[in-house]
Structure 1
Amino acid sequence: MKETFENRPIRNIIVIQLTKYGFKILFLDFILTSMRVLFLISLFCLCTAHAQNPIEKDSITQLDEVILLDALKKKNATGITPSEVISAKTFQNYSPVSMVSAINQIPGVFIFSGALNTNRITVRGIGARTLFGTDKLRMYYEDIPVTDGSGFSSIEQYDLENLSQIEIIKGPKGTSYGSNLGGAIILSPKEALGKSTNFSNNFTAGSFGLLKNNLSFNHYDGELRLGFQYGHMETDGYRQNSNFERDGMLLNASFQLNDKNKISLLANHIDFRAQIPSSLGATAFAEDPQQATFTWRVSQGFEDNNSTLVGLSYAHKFNEKFENSTSIFYNYLDKTEAAPFGILNEITKGFGFRTRFSGAFSLLEKNADYTFGAELFKDEYDWDRFKNLWEENNGNGSVKGEYVSRNKEFRSQWNAFGTLLLPFSSKFSAQFGLNINQTQYDYRDLFNSGAENKSADRNFKAILLPSLNLEYAFSENQIVYANLSRGFSNPTLEETLTPDGVVNPDIAQETGTNYELGTNLSLDEGRFTINLAIYQMNIKNLLVGERIDEDQFVGKNAGKTSHRGLEIGLNYTWTISENFQLSPFVNFTLTDHNFVEFVDKENDFSGNQLTGVPKQRRTAGIQLHLFENFYWNTTHSHVSEIPLTDASNLFSEPYTIFNTRMGYLKKLSEKFTIGVDFGINNVLDKVYAQSVLINTRGFGGGEPRYFYPGDKRNFYGSIRLGYKL
């Protein structure tokens, strides 16, 4: 009999009933196993705790960097806007190869990862219907937008080892960051800790021919802050035709001109080439998940990606209560994707500026804070399609044939925003926000002429996006909050076109309203933290992408969806002795996402579960620190079944994955430190689908290909050298 949450033994679950919202949380069968492991670890460590003395903390040692960086987490979200920040302590749970697992530890956020270069970020179900890539949210590197003009973001372009933290605003409540339905992701690069000059080099080797090296230099002397990172990674990959190679450089510099003025420079360059194994049908997935799809393997399908981001920022402090930060930026992307059915060349050139003023004024003997600003982004997107003559290339893979199409699109988007934070008392505050967005697409057909030319433009009316955040603090560490906000999502280029390739003037933006209640509680002198959120988001003009050919999609507005969910994060820090610390944690997501109204031709899917969204996700783990020079972190992640069709007649299999990582460091002198790490991914060697496609169709007599297999059990080890001037 298939095990369900209803027929599991009662000792393996904790049941929480929230009658008002109709939520029933059934989770934590991991707890019993964790307690047994915890007992054995505790017994071993308590028996050996007297054998060593604690080492002195040093800013270049790996474990102490984790502690310091975690304590220095900062929120970019304005005022009391709820957001979640993860940094070194979370990063240390997982391999340095990808940030996917670290982000997946956040309740309500899930990345479907088909490969290192194929990721789809979903936030509370938003973005789950996008087949390839991430849209419906805004992504920023520092204060610079890195989402393109059509709304797509590429998390795979950034190296986890170059980041100090990742902040996620879930839902449209981030007024200063675009008010997109999926929210915003803000990446922050590493910086020197205090006044110091440090060099470090981290070399990682592992299964599937993995080699990764990250060289880092960070300096701060009170005026000049300079950070430079260079990284190289290569791997053969678990599956056939899945080689991946990436080089990247990051320069992050700032100079404090005087007490009132600071100038900053951010430059990031990434060059990667990735083979594409593509998705598998159910039969191929069951027989051999390591195989690549036949046509992608024999054509040696790949993606070649070269991107550069440059931003210059200037900050000026007018007085103690009023300041401004302004950035100008330019990004460039040159991408080639060779698929069996054609070769796509893309060049995207974008530029823009962002300015934000912030200040305060006295109100009822308290300071009221405000921000206002604007963001303008323009880009030019050129894409050409060619025939792929791989069948005529004697088994040597893809080769470019004649033109199939030539296209250009000019895209522009601007946001104006403002917030006002009013402290009505020492405990109660309200923040009012308003974002105004306007988007325009100008499409040019450069291939056809005369009557066949399909050039057209699409202007969306300016949309007003208000938000309201309320916060009540019982104490400094015990806070409840509420949010009411409106958000939107633009259709992508392909969704604005009809099957004939003509711009559809009737396609509309998705819009939605978010309702949210939550708590941030810190108990037991800060050792125990509880984060809980209950939300409902109602979306209308749902954008539905229909696949009409193997490489062609069109969109339409097809109804309404309801996104309801519960998110829980529990963390406890247990200092058993001066030399021994345990930190268990549990993050849990329960969703109830459904089509409210969805009629597609003759099919009525109203009431069905939203496609591509698991009802439950759970991440739990134990972090152990011993004598400040040894750590051992073990995590597990559970994902429930996922509906693969709008009819809810086909589901993926649920899975549970265990990962573990441990490390040891040695201080060789006052200046030199060496550290080693070892990790295992998928400890129990589970066969599972790490990403899925929805509503896919079979072409050429083949079965529909829904599944991207996850990696089998694999190992990695790192050695880290640090030097402090």
Structure 2
Amino acid sequence: MLKRFLLFTLISGFLFPSFLFAQAPTASSLEDTLQLNEVVVRGYATNRRLLETPASVGLLTRRDLNQRFGAPTLIPALNTLPGVRADERSPGSYRLAIRGSAIRSPFGVRNIKTYWNEMPLTDAGGNTNLNALDVRAFGRIEVIKGPSGSLYGAGTGGTLLFSGLGVPAGKSTIELSALGGSYGLYGNGLVLQTGKNNSAISLNYNHLQSNGYRDQSAVVRDNLSFTGSFNVSPKRTVSMLALYSDLHYQTPGGLTEAQFLANPRASRPATATLPSSAAQNAGIYQKVGYFGLSHEYRWSDRIQNTTAIFGTTTDFANPFITNYERRTDQGIGGRTVTQIRFPNSPLPTVVTIGGEFLRNFTVDRNFGNRGGVPDSIQTDEELISRQSTIFAQAETELPAHFRLTAGLSRNDVRYDFTRFMVRSGGLPTAMITRNFTPVWLPRVALLRTFGPNISAFVSISTGYSAPSSQEIHPSAGGFSTTLNPERGTSYEVGLRGTVLNSRLRFDIALYKLQLRETIVRRSDAAGADYFVNAGRTDQPGLETQVAYDFVMPSSVSSASTFSLFRLWNNLTLINYRYRDYQQGTVDLSNNRIPGVAPTTNITGIDAETKSGFYAHLTYQFLLEFALNDANTALSNPTQLLQATLGFRRNMGQHWMLDVYASGDNLLDRSYSLGYDLNAVGNRYYNAAPGRNGMGGVRLSVKW
């Protein structure tokens, strides 16, 4: 009954919006209503309009992150961007790929750099605890696609730049929220903000829990974050970031196709040689703490420096089917960026120079797993990860509306591994160092504007990605002395702009990434992961974003019904293939790289009325793709319809109420959101829920 009511309400809101009008309009945030030729992005430290940025940058605003979808997770919002694919194989288990496959990441986020206001979130081992972050604490995310090592260090995937919720100047705000939905979903949140006395302070607490759609798939997460920015003088700003996340989620494990079709809600059953996921209480226990300080100093209008230092700690436990891993990470690091502007030179130029240093110390022990309780010790190991980057970039305005960007960085990655003997007759104590040869990564981009509304760019960038700590030192223990870094070169052309009086916006990018020593995942007979280099790969793709505004924010009048009515479509076409890949005696050259859909098409409708009602409809289609290197197993095509209908209204000058209902998988299609690639025993499938719904409320007061 609940499912039918939600479906009827959501569809009615789209088809018959006229009966939903009320009074007391609520304006959207300024950034959500800006046109393409007005949006400013921070990518590559340019702080320029997106129209003037010679790179593919995807932008998610607060509307995309916290209004378009009801579920408080980053996954659906990231999946609306062309070239980006986020998976949640079980609730809380995130995986992210930007212009590439997820073959390096059976779990977790690797080969992608992440920052929160210049503070690095990615550790020295190349890993990002993306599931430790709560989407309700963000107001904006920029996604830089492709290699960005000239400014952000090692990596061939891309870069994420997070920003917190905007704090209104001169105001204080308290917001309370609650949500509930199918399969025991429940959450609540508290936001405290103040923008008074030359400061901007935001405190966020968010709780989320769910029983999960599948057996052995429950999740509980608590997040606490504090951000503060203090203008201590006209030239000096000090910022602070503190995060704490306590996350536990169960891992149901992959199913074969027969098991998936017979009972998609089942967890991985026992076999003749291995127990089931439920019997071993398989899951993740993860506590993450982060504290960072940032200092910005403006010597003059032409010179400024931002320097950030941080420390992290992670307590991680993973009872798995075959073992029980306990890991502790302690990390420190810093980043400094100086910008020097020469606005009055014959060729106006902005020079950016800086560096970044990351260090992690990891203690990793493996035990036997006796029903979710650690048994006798199997391995006792330590790993020190170091990563350093120095970089320089120049952006020069040339005649005839051209702008040239040239950057160069030096990247150095080192691992020190120690294995201790744990029992008599076992492996002896060993110390191994892998100091990868430092590499220089250049990037050159040329952009030309054609009037105020259209621009085109070409770029060549290089990428370098050393094995992450979870690849060179997999969860089952050991240390690889043969796994090599992957190197890549990306060639890209792009065209973006607005036409038809800025009603029609478009952003088109055509690229080709050529990788050498591509890193791919393998599994042994027990299901434990290890990694190998797969030779050379070619990864060409086409990404398009098109949006049409039937109602322009600048033309909304007192007689208008809608304040926003937008139709948009994002399309990704790719043809990623192995070129030199020999697996034993089998030649896999020219096979498709698994895990990437050749076609991904996403269409959406966004509508907001001046009376306060809003509605969002999102349809995703993914063509079938390979699940293994041999291309003998294929996924099913994915069709996913999601919708949200809400009412947001100011009540007087101080109070605001937001009530919404959301539906997921409204077509009730059977699909897997996150496949286990190259899985042993053909256990590829992690079933996603059928048709389900949720609702929530937000109440805020400001003064």
Structure 1 length as normaliser, TM-score? 0.88
| Residue 227 in structure 1 maps to residue 202 in structure 2 | yes
Residue equivalent to 2:434: 458
CA distance in 1, matches of 2:449, 2:30: 31
- The aligned runs of 1:340-351 (5 Å cut-off) are 340-351=321-332
Match 2:303 to one of 309, 318, 322: 322
Which deviations, in whole Å up to 9, do the C-alpha atoms of 1:100-126 show, x marking residues without a partner?
010000000101220222121111124
CA distance in 2, matches of 1:498, 1:286: 31
Would the alpha carbon gap of residues 666 and 320 (structure 1) be closer, same or farther in structure 2, given more than 3 Å must change? closer
CA contact (8 A) 1:229 1:249 kept: yes
Deviation at 1:538, TM superposition (A): 0.5
Deviation at 1:277, TM superposition (A): 0.9
Match 1:77 to one of 39, 44, 64: 44
Structure 1: segments with no counterpart, 5+ residues: 1-36, 391-397, 699-703
- The aligned runs of 1:345-364 (5 Å cut-off) are 345-362=326-343, 364=345
- The aligned runs of 1:470-481 (5 Å cut-off) are 470-481=446-457
Would the alpha carbon gap of residues 259 and 642 (structure 1) be closer, same or farther in structure 2, given more than 3 Å must change? same
- The aligned runs of 1:128-147 (5 Å cut-off) are 128-147=103-122
Counterpart amino acid of 1:410?
I
Residue equivalent to 1:671: 654
Residue equivalent to 2:82: 107
CA contact (8 A) 1:126 1:181 kept: no
Would the alpha carbon gap of residues 102 and 39 (structure 1) be closer, same or farther in structure 2, given more than 3 Å must change? closer
Aligned length: 670
Deviation at 1:626, TM superposition (A): 1.7
Residue equivalent to 1:435: 409
Which deviations, in whole Å up to 9, do the C-alpha atoms of 1:184-229 show, x marking residues without a partner?
1111111213332111112111111111111101111261110000
Residue equivalent to 2:540: 564
Counterpart amino acid of 1:360?
R
Would the alpha carbon gap of residues 273 and 506 (structure 1) be closer, same or farther in structure 2, given more than 3 Å must change? closer
Q: Percent of aligned positions with the same letter in both sequences?
A: 23
Residue equivalent to 1:207: 182
CA contact (8 A) 2:227 2:240 kept: yes
Which deviations, in whole Å up to 9, do the C-alpha atoms of 1:42-79 show, x marking residues without a partner?
8845x669x766x3556xxxx55784699876424323
Would the alpha carbon gap of residues 127 and 345 (structure 1) be closer, same or farther in structure 2, given more than 3 Å must change? same
CA distance in 1, matches of 2:365, 2:25: 59
Counterpart amino acid of 2:560?
E
Structure 2: segments with no counterpart, 5+ residues: 1-8, 47-52, 270-275, 553-558
CA distance in 2, matches of 1:558, 1:673: 55
| Residue 312 in structure 1 maps to residue 293 in structure 2 | yes
- The aligned runs of 1:291-306 (5 Å cut-off) are 291-294=266-269, 295-306=276-287
Is the partner of 2:261 in helix, strand or coil?
helix
CA contact (8 A) 1:129 1:612 kept: no
Is the partner of 1:550 in helix, strand or coil?
coil
CA distance in 2, matches of 1:235, 1:65: 34
CA contact (8 A) 1:494 1:554 kept: no
- The aligned runs of 1:85-234 (5 Å cut-off) are 85-91=59-65, 92-173=67-148, 175-221=150-196, 223-234=198-209
| Residue 249 in structure 1 maps to residue 249 in structure 2 | no
| Residue 603 in structure 1 maps to residue 586 in structure 2 | yes
CA distance in 1, matches of 2:379, 2:104: 27
Deviation at 1:174, TM superposition (A): 5.4
Deviation at 1:298, TM superposition (A): 2.0
Deviation at 1:97, TM superposition (A): 2.0
Which deviations, in whole Å up to 9, do the C-alpha atoms of 1:314-352 show, x marking residues without a partner?
110111100000000001100111112111111000001
CA contact (8 A) 1:131 1:693 kept: yes
Deviation at 1:418, TM superposition (A): 1.0
CA contact (8 A) 1:75 1:85 kept: no
| Residue 591 in structure 1 maps to residue 580 in structure 2 | no
Deviation at 1:475, TM superposition (A): 1.8
Deviation at 1:554, TM superposition (A): 3.0
Residue equivalent to 1:386: 367
Is the partner of 1:297 in helix, strand or coil?
coil
- The aligned runs of 1:471-550 (5 Å cut-off) are 471-493=447-469, 495-496=471-472, 503-550=479-526
CA distance in 2, matches of 1:258, 1:578: 45
CA distance in 2, matches of 1:44, 1:114: 36
Residue equivalent to 2:49: none
| Residue 717 in structure 1 maps to residue 695 in structure 2 | yes
Would the alpha carbon gap of residues 686 and 57 (structure 1) be closer, same or farther in structure 2, given more than 3 Å must change? closer
| Residue 574 in structure 1 maps to residue 574 in structure 2 | no
Deviation at 1:632, TM superposition (A): 1.0
Which deviations, in whole Å up to 9, do the C-alpha atoms of 1:141-193 show, x marking residues without a partner?
22111112221212211111100111111111352222510011111111213
Counterpart amino acid of 2:648?
L
Is the partner of 2:348 in helix, strand or coil?
strand
| Residue 275 in structure 1 maps to residue 258 in structure 2 | no
CA distance in 1, matches of 2:95, 2:178: 28
CA distance in 2, matches of 1:611, 1:292: 23
Is the partner of 1:708 in helix, strand or coil?
coil
Deviation at 1:503, TM superposition (A): 4.5
| Residue 708 in structure 1 maps to residue 686 in structure 2 | yes
Deviation at 1:361, TM superposition (A): 1.3
CA contact (8 A) 1:253 1:265 kept: yes
CA contact (8 A) 2:402 2:447 kept: yes
CA distance in 2, matches of 1:500, 1:86: 37
Would the alpha carbon gap of residues 668 and 694 (structure 1) be closer, same or farther in structure 2, given more than 3 Å must change? same
Is the partner of 1:89 in helix, strand or coil?
helix
Is the partner of 2:464 in helix, strand or coil?
strand
Which deviations, in whole Å up to 9, do the C-alpha atoms of 1:660-713 show, x marking residues without a partner?
101012332221121200000000111101111122212xxxxx2111111111
Is the partner of 1:319 in helix, strand or coil?
coil
Q: Which has the higher contact order (CA 8 A, sep 6+)?
A: 2
Deviation at 1:527, TM superposition (A): 2.2
CA distance in 2, matches of 1:667, 1:556: 57
| Residue 631 in structure 1 maps to residue 614 in structure 2 | yes
Is the partner of 2:299 in helix, strand or coil?
strand
CA contact (8 A) 1:168 1:184 kept: yes
Residue equivalent to 2:348: 367
Would the alpha carbon gap of residues 484 and 595 (structure 1) be closer, same or farther in structure 2, given more than 3 Å must change? same
Would the alpha carbon gap of residues 266 and 502 (structure 1) be closer, same or farther in structure 2, given more than 3 Å must change? closer
| Residue 612 in structure 1 maps to residue 585 in structure 2 | no
Counterpart amino acid of 2:544?
I
CA contact (8 A) 1:194 1:220 kept: yes
Counterpart amino acid of 2:45?
T
Is the partner of 1:676 in helix, strand or coil?
strand
CA distance in 2, matches of 1:41, 1:340: 47
Counterpart amino acid of 1:78?
A
CA distance in 2, matches of 1:366, 1:116: 52
CA distance in 2, matches of 1:460, 1:722: 52
Counterpart amino acid of 2:213?
Y
CA distance in 2, matches of 1:634, 1:301: 36
Counterpart amino acid of 1:346?
R
CA distance in 2, matches of 1:221, 1:76: 29
Would the alpha carbon gap of residues 502 and 663 (structure 1) be closer, same or farther in structure 2, given more than 3 Å must change? closer
Is the partner of 1:471 in helix, strand or coil?
strand
Which deviations, in whole Å up to 9, do the C-alpha atoms of 1:481-504 show, x marking residues without a partner?
111010011113454369997644
CA distance in 1, matches of 2:143, 2:149: 10
CA distance in 2, matches of 1:591, 1:402: 47
Deviation at 1:95, TM superposition (A): 2.0
